C-alpha cells in the first residue's frame, strides 16, 4: 500500500491512477497534514456472465398459450386491479 502526501498526489495524479489501474498498487492512501484523508482504489470490473448459460430454461414447464387466450385474460386481470368482483 502506497502512502502519498496530498501535494505530491496533486502533481502525480495521472501516475497514481495508472498504478492502481494496472495493478502495480492495490490502493494508495493520500494523506493531508500527516493523517490519512483519502484512498485511491481501482473500480471493480463488472462480473462477466458465466459461459454456457442457456436461455429458455422454463421451456415446457408451463402450458402453451396462444395470443387470443392471452388477450382473453385482459378483462379478468383488469377487474383484479380495479377491485371489481365478478
Q: Please check the confidence at residue 11 and state whether its pLDDT lies above 70.
A: yes
The length of the chain, given as a count of residues: 86
Average pLDDT, integer, range 62-79 = 83
For the whole prediction, is pTM greater than 0.85? no
- Write the Ramachandran bin of 8: left for phi over 0, alpha for psi from -120 to 50, otherwise beta: alpha
Q: Please check the confidence at residue 39 and state whether its pLDDT lies above 80.
A: yes
Average pLDDT, integer, range 27-53 = 85
Per-residue pLDDT at 46: 66
Sign of CA dihedral 51, 56, 58, 60: negative
Which CATH number describes the domain made up of 2-40?
3.40.1620.10
Confidence of residue 49 (pLDDT cuts 50, 70, 90): low
* Alpha-carbon span 51 to 68, nearest angstrom: 37
* Alpha-carbon span 8 to 15, nearest angstrom: 11
Q: Where are the domains of the chain?
A: 2-40
Amino acid at each position: 500500500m502506497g502512502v502519498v502526501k496530498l501535494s505530491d498526489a496533486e502533481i502525480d495524479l495521472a501516475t497514481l491512477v495508472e498504478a492502481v489501474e494496472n495493478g502495480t498498487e492495490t490502493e494508495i492512501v493520500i494523506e493531508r497534514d500527516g493523517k490519512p484523508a483519502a484512498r485511491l482504489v481501482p473500480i471493480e470490473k463488472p462480473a462477466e456472465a458465466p459461459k454456457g448459460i442457456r436461455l429458455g430454461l422454463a421451456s415446457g414447464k408451463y402450458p402453451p398459450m396462444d395470443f387470443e387466450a392471452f388477450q382473453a385474460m385482459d378483462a379478468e386481470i383488469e377487474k383484479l386491479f380495479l377491485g371489481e368482483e365478478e
